[in-house]
Chains A and B, each alone.
Chain A
Amino acid sequence: MAGKRPYAVYDVASGEAGGKLTVTRGTGRRVREALASVLEGLPPGGVLYVDMRGVELMDYSFADEALGVLVSRVASGEYGDRRVVLVEEDRELLENVEASLRQRSLAIVRVDEIGASPEIVGDVPEHLVDTLRSIYEAGSITNADLAVKLGLNHTAMNNRATRLLKLGLIHRTKNTAAPGGRQYSYEGIA
């Protein structure tokens, strides 16, 4: 997906604000500010890949301040429809990110590398997991098709997808030329 939408990559280990050893809220704040400025520089719909694979040590405070706060701001719409994706392998270091996002009832999309299949870190309500999976499997899917696939009515489908959109986990596009008027399409962000 990375090729479709404008994107940027921020390597935390080699970035000026970060390093291989990411501990404390102070360090987290500096990394978050650096990430936010890259995110703001992206065109609408753009995706920021936060690459943490070079990081050796991380504590909870850093994870919460850098990613927890950033993800909560993305979810609140502070960066429009720009999104953040975590590039990180499945290792113990992730538990700090997981703990912070669960604490905040938020989630982030994670990939092992750019272009790899997406996973979720954090807290996605049980009833939204199927919806999320179906959108990522389809690549791009209309609300109507998704509703059929999951056996839901239009409104329920729309509500679920809107919730995922607000969590910053999917993109939504409006297709006004659709028969019957306005029609939404959803796609994954990574």
Chain B
Amino acid sequence: MTATKLELNIRRKGAMRGILTLGSLDPAFEGAEGVSSGSVVLDLRPVEFVEPAGLCGLAALLEFLISRSRLVGVRIPEHNVAAYLERMDFFRIFGHRVETNVDVAALEERRRGNPGTLQELINFHSEDEIPGIINRISEILENRGYLLRERAAICATLSEICANAVEHGRSPFGAYAAVQAYQHIVSGGRGKGEEVLVAIADGGVGVRETLSRNPKYAEFTETDNEALRHALKMGVTGTGEIGRGGGLAVVGQIAVRAGGSLSLRSGSGRVTHYGDRTNSRNVPPFPGTFVRVSLPRKAVDEPTP
């Protein structure tokens, strides 16, 4: 029996060349819809770098595939990517659940110390685990010289999204989170400075279904994109309780104030909020909810307001 091959869309040119982003997993998500049993192989060989969003997306994709197929194979390029995935704890979580071409034991042996700029891929299931995650991120940022005010903004963002993922998710695998502090701007590739990328993925029912529980939002839940746009507004919540539904709105404000962006992806919708704009487009279905936050930190010679 032949295995189903899942392809990626990795850019070959430009600022995003070779980077595994959530978007580059689109063809694989599209292909995964058709997988119902048998074997499946995901080819990561064109990948040169992995960003947190790509890593969380990959984790969600693998969870989806593992639950549906007899055998999941992942072909990993045998250079920096394998070492990075090892540092990110990818093999600890997936090593025994997928087949790879990588000699994990050898990687572990030559494992270098954590450079202190990333939070390994974390799989979590409950709100109780969040303060520990936040504490770790706060330490990473403190070591990178982030001011308390900056750390507070990043951590408040992260905890809010993590809480959403485990609260609304009803996800079979809980949620995955990854964070990396870069010493340069990665999103958009412009300007001097640093950037923190936060990514969280869950495999739950998605934003549209969560909001649909509240009949008040019937007119905003006809498409995934409408639901995502609506979820960014203050006070919009599936439960209808007063005081709920403020988290994502505040996260959006924080990201925009930092000059960054907030992207949400759920079902076949994708919404990105940056500056005073909110863009949406249709994408291949994501089996759950995915959030990516970019929090740039402009170079010191460019004073921020």
Contacts and interface: CB of A to CB of B under 8 A. Distances in A.
Contacts of A23: 130-131, 134, 155-156, 159-160, 163
Interface string B152-188: 1101110110010000000000000000000000000
B130 A99 contact: no
Interface string A54-90: 0011111100110011001000000000000000000
Contact of A24 (B130, B157, B235, B249): B130
Interface stretch (B19-27, B238-246, B294-302): B238-246
B11 to A, nearest CB: 35
A104 B230 CA distance: 19
B contact residues, range:
20 to 34
B246 A24 contact: no
A103 B241 CA distance: 11
A104 B242 contact: yes
A136 B151 CA distance: 36
Contact of A64 (B148, B153, B156, B244): B244
B2 interface: no
A99 B159 contact: no
Interface SS of chain A: helix
A95 B153 CA distance: 11
A96 B249 CA distance: 11
Interface SS of chain B: helix
Given A23-B131, A24-B127, A59 B160 contact: yes
A59 B167 CA distance: 15
A158 B128 CA distance: 47
B250 interface: yes
A61 B245 CA distance: 9
A91 B152 CA distance: 11
Contact of A21 (B138, B149, B235, B246): B138
Contacts of A91: 149
A104 B245 CA distance: 12
A25 interface: yes
Contact of B243 (A92, A95, A100): A100
A120 interface: no
A8 B128 CA distance: 29
11 contacts: A21-B138, A57-B156, A58-B152, A59-B250, A60-B160, A61-B159, A64-B246, A93-B152, A95-B253, A99-B234, A103-B234
